[in-house]
Chain A
Amino acid sequence: MSLTTAHSVVAPSANSKRIAGAIIIAYALISIVPLLWIFATSFKTPPDSIAYPPKIVFQPSIEGYCNLFTTRTRQTPEYINSLGPATGFCDETVRKRNMVIAGPSNFLPRFLNSLIIAFGSTFCAVFLGTLSAYGFSRFKVPLADDLLFFILSTRFMPPIAVAIPIYLMYRELGLSDTALGMILLYTAVNVSLAVWLLKGFIDEIPREYEEAAMIDGYTRLQAFWRTVLPQATTGIAATAIFCLIFAWNEYAFAALLTSGTAQTAPPFIPTIIGEGGQDWPAVAAGTTIFLVPILVFTILLRKQLLRGITFGAVRK
């Protein structure tokens, strides 16, 4: 006979921790399988990518990446044999399929468009959002509550509901298929989120900091720059990630409003399928590269992101 070990009512027991861990790991695995599948497919040859049963173990190839970055034309074996030696790995791989590289594909310019538009609109939304949030937080703005509600109300409707009017408007204004047009659009969608998120963060920064700076001889703008901004970096980073993720992933407007020079990666990647058969490795390669910037950005700022998500959930 012995007394059972006393255990805390609040702290989770070892067993419940183990169960929780198992559930989280299982969920993480389920979530990551599609991503791993895309990553694996990007290194398969086209025949391997459609093999049935699916190949788990395969000979890796960068043919998908070669196809993603190039356009190719089909030629007779005689013509290919008449060419000089292959100039690189991609050239060699393509020739095995009776094709020659005709030139670079549109993937790189489309990817650059995505970078410019997503980061540009994120910068604008966060910039405008920070200033507006500061204004709402510190000054007596007439009808402040109504204005804030109006800003929030711009998110009540799914943005795509106004796709047709925007399409017509952009065509009139010459903003269709321009990076500027897309930056304006994404900024408009994101700025409401930015204002609301940042207002919460700036409200938390005691106004004594600016008052102290202003008494010490700084103008309000200097005080804002030197005392408020450094303390709002967490909030600004969290807001920037949310805005960037939206702008980076946005498909519907991009598909509708961009078709050529300003086209972003999301509407471009599916069009790869149409070029010379169903080239799944190239699509997977495009998707993999597309995932990298947001992955890096999120990992770099993950602490701030977590803070942004749980913001207001815990009282200090």
Chain B
Amino acid sequence: MAEIRVQHLRKAFGDFVAVQDSNFVVEDGEFFVMLGPSGCGKTTTLRMIAGLELPTGGQILLGGEDVTMLRARERDIAFVFQLFALYPHMNVRKNIGFPLLAQGMPSAEIRTRVEETAKLLRIDHLLNKSVSGLAGGDRQRVALGRAIVRRPKCFLMDEPLGTLDTEFRDLMVHELRELHNRIHATTVYVTHDQMEAMSMADKIAVMNHGVIEQFGTPREIYDRPATMFVADFIGSPPMNFLGFGGGLAKGAKEIVVQGAKVAVPEVREDIAPADMALGIRPEHIRFDDTSKLRGAIYGTEYLGTTQIVAVETADGIIKARVPAEIRLNAGDHVGLALNSARLSLFDKGSGRAVRTAVHDTASQGRAQHG
């Protein structure tokens, strides 16, 4: 196992820049997830780490060794594809043993290793079956088996659960994380599904338009989104934004939104007057008739333990997650109380988060985006 260090990585296809200047470090044994919408450059980054694409610029270090321009087969990595890429003309045993065959390992040893791996993944009863007859989850396990049988430096996975049913998916998310806890393999996992990312990752990089918007733990990314894109992409429903104008002074603890004064975490930098946005997670909104911030109920979405309430305000619809017991009728006027300690402030122009007291406890050293 090894750490992966990516420095100033760039990839352009003609005029289209798929990845711009990415920098991150995946530490040894870490489960790292690259998360973003399709076309954001996450798969391209993964393929460059694998050696299936050559970068236009930058460096990739694998366990300290510069592998930027090495062939895929010289990198000692394993890759799990979205479509699994199991060879249909081989049975499960041969599929799992295929990478060992390339190393010229004696067949008796291949046999033992394949059987060990199959046991680890609980597919030892399937070894002599044809892969074409397998269910989605078992195919996934065979693909994983082919990856771990070789004990490579790291695992790269490209949306490996993308084609599975929701039911299987939750099971596999659990299994994957459990497997990781047992073998502690450095893993780079690409997905567009925030639930997969949040539940499995040690570290997440959120990508958009070829840029890493934020790099951090799932908690950092959810609680302290570095940009409006991240705030909007993570969370379901996503973070609400309420616009406000004017600058911010260092030490400010209050802003004015729609004529109402709102307490915010203490601002830690001076911001020149500009269009700003206040970011509020739906679960940080309460209904409070004494609040000056007001809106009308637009609709509700009952979820059992909670309900999502859409409230029409002067600045568009915002969504609140409140206990399911509260009875609400469309058209009711309500006051909105915000949990001051958990609010985020953004500069609307650049989308960047304003540094506030929320960031005091954060380990900002890890975020290395340009």
Instruction: Point out residues on A near B: beta carbons under 8 Å.
Output: 206, 208-209, 211-219, 222, 226-227, 230-231
| B94 → A minimal CB distance (Å) | 10
> A215–B73 contact, CB under 8 A?
yes
Residue picked from B82, B87, B102, most chain A C-beta under 10 Å: B102
Closest to A209 in B: B85
- Partner of A206 from B71, B77, B78, B83 at Cβ < 8 Å: B83
Interface pairs A-B: 8 shortest CB-CB: A217-B102, A216-B99, A208-B85, A212-B85, A230-B89, A208-B81, A215-B79, A214-B72
> A219–B85 contact, CB under 8 A?
no
Complex-state Cα separation, A219 to B83, whole angstroms = 21
Chain B 167-196 interface mask (CB, 8 Å, partner A; 1/0): 000000000000000000000000000000
Given A214-B72, A215-B51: 4 more A-B contacts, CB < 8 Å:
A211-B79, A214-B52, A216-B150, A217-B99
Q: A212-B79, A215-B77 are in contact. Are A206 and B85 (CB under 8 A)?
A: yes
Closest to B50 in A: A215
Complex-state Cα separation, A213 to B52, whole angstroms = 11
Closest to A216 in B: B99
> A212–B81 contact, CB under 8 A?
yes
- Partner of A214 from B73, B81, B83, B103 at Cβ < 8 Å: B73
> A215–B83 contact, CB under 8 A?
no
- List residues of chain B with CB within 8 A of the CB of A230: 87, 89
Q: Determine whether B98 belongs to the interface, using a CB cutoff of 8 Å to chain A.
A: yes
Closest to B103 in A: A217
| B:49-84 near A, CB below 8 Å | 50-52, 71-73, 75, 77-79, 81-83
> B78–A215 contact, CB under 8 A?
yes
Q: Determine whether B331 belongs to the interface, using a CB cutoff of 8 Å to chain A.
A: no
- List residues of chain B with CB within 8 A of the CB of A216: 73, 78, 98-99, 102, 146, 150
Q: Determine whether B88 belongs to the interface, using a CB cutoff of 8 Å to chain A.
A: yes
Dominant secondary structure at the B interface: loop
- List residues of chain A with CB within 8 A of the CB of B99: 216-217
> A213–B77 contact, CB under 8 A?
no
Complex-state Cα separation, A183 to B138, whole angstroms = 49
Complex-state Cα separation, A208 to B150, whole angstroms = 19
| A210 → B minimal CB distance (Å) | 9
Closest to B89 in A: A230
- List residues of chain A with CB within 8 A of the CB of B150: 216-217
Chain B 153-176 interface mask (CB, 8 Å, partner A; 1/0): 000000000000000000000000
Closest to A213 in B: B98
- List residues of chain A with CB within 8 A of the CB of B83: 206, 208
Q: A211-B52, A212-B81, A213-B98 are in contact. Are A219 and B73 (CB under 8 A)?
A: yes
> B87–A215 contact, CB under 8 A?
no
| B:103-129 near A, CB below 8 Å | 103
| A92 → B minimal CB distance (Å) | 56
Closest to A227 in B: B87
- List residues of chain B with CB within 8 A of the CB of A219: 73
Complex-state Cα separation, A212 to B77, whole angstroms = 11
Complex-state Cα separation, A231 to B146, whole angstroms = 19
- List residues of chain B with CB within 8 A of the CB of A212: 79, 81, 85, 146
11 interchain pairs, CB-CB under 8 A: A211-B50, A211-B52, A211-B81, A212-B81, A214-B73, A215-B52, A216-B146, A216-B150, A217-B103, A218-B73, A231-B89
Closest to A211 in B: B52
Residue picked from B73, B78, B83, most chain A C-beta under 10 Å: B73
- List residues of chain B with CB within 8 A of the CB of A218: 73, 102
Q: A208-B81, A208-B83 are in contact. Are A217 and B73 (CB under 8 A)?
A: yes
- List residues of chain B with CB within 8 A of the CB of A209: 85, 87
Complex-state Cα separation, A216 to B98, whole angstroms = 8
- List residues of chain A with CB within 8 A of the CB of B79: 211-212, 215
Complex-state Cα separation, A206 to B103, whole angstroms = 24
Complex-state Cα separation, A218 to B72, whole angstroms = 9
- List residues of chain B with CB within 8 A of the CB of A227: 87
Complex-state Cα separation, A217 to B83, whole angstroms = 20
| A212 → B minimal CB distance (Å) | 4
- List residues of chain B with CB within 8 A of the CB of A226: 87
Complex-state Cα separation, A206 to B102, whole angstroms = 21
- List residues of chain A with CB within 8 A of the CB of B72: 211, 214-215
- List residues of chain B with CB within 8 A of the CB of A217: 73, 99, 102-103, 150
Complex-state Cα separation, A206 to B88, whole angstroms = 12
| B328 → A minimal CB distance (Å) | 49
Complex-state Cα separation, A218 to B101, whole angstroms = 9
Complex-state Cα separation, A217 to B51, whole angstroms = 12
Closest to B71 in A: A214
- List residues of chain B with CB within 8 A of the CB of A206: 83, 85
- List residues of chain A with CB within 8 A of the CB of B51: 215
- List residues of chain B with CB within 8 A of the CB of A231: 88-89
| A206 → B minimal CB distance (Å) | 6
| B339 → A minimal CB distance (Å) | 46
| B208 → A minimal CB distance (Å) | 25
Residue picked from B50, B78, B82, B87, most chain A C-beta under 10 Å: B87
- List residues of chain A with CB within 8 A of the CB of B85: 206, 208-209, 211-212
- List residues of chain B with CB within 8 A of the CB of A213: 98, 102
Closest to B88 in A: A231
| B:129-159 near A, CB below 8 Å | 146, 150
Closest to A205 in B: B88
| A142 → B minimal CB distance (Å) | 14
Complex-state Cα separation, A200 to B82, whole angstroms = 23
Complex-state Cα separation, A195 to B342, whole angstroms = 63
Complex-state Cα separation, A17 to B82, whole angstroms = 44
Complex-state Cα separation, A306 to B88, whole angstroms = 21
Complex-state Cα separation, A212 to B98, whole angstroms = 10
| A222 → B minimal CB distance (Å) | 8
Complex-state Cα separation, A209 to B89, whole angstroms = 11
- List residues of chain A with CB within 8 A of the CB of B75: 215
Residue picked from A211, A213, A217, A227, most chain B C-beta under 10 Å: A217
Complex-state Cα separation, A225 to B23, whole angstroms = 37
